[in-house]
């Protein structure tokens, strides 16, 4: 699943928290200190607790695409890499 990182008109500055819940990545929002569950897009804790990231419909993203192709289409994309999941 892919989520829009915009909440209340502001883009979350998401990073890897290093935490995992129910086998899913927990993201950290640098701007608010909120923790977001990747699986559901819901804020678990912090300033944004109780809010949710909007899941994007499948027609707005590609499930399988090579990185070089994606980067051409979305040059401002940043990659989150936690290194411990390999």
How is the chain split into domains, by residue range? 3-73
Give the number of C-alpha atoms closer than 13 A to the C-alpha of residue 82, restricted to the C-beta side: 15
Question: pLDDT confidence of 83, banded at 50, 70, 90?
Answer: low
71: phi then psi, degrees, rounded to nearest 5: -60, -35
pLDDT digits (tens, 9 = 90+) for 17-50: 999 998 889 999 999 999 999 989 999 999 999 9
For residue 58, the model assigns a pLDDT of 76
For residue 3, the model assigns a pLDDT of 85
């Amino acid at each position: 699943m892919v989520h829009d990182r915009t909440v209340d008109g502001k883009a979350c500055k998401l990073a890897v928290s290093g935490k995992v819940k129910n086998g899913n990545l927990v993201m950290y929002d640098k701007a608010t200190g909120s923790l977001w569950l990747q699986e559901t897009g819901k804020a678990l804790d912090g300033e944004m607790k109780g809010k949710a990231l909007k899941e994007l419909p499948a027609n707005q993203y590609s499930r399988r695409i090579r990185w070089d192709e994606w980067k051409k289409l979305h040059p401002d994309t940043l990659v989150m890499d936690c290194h411990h999941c390999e």
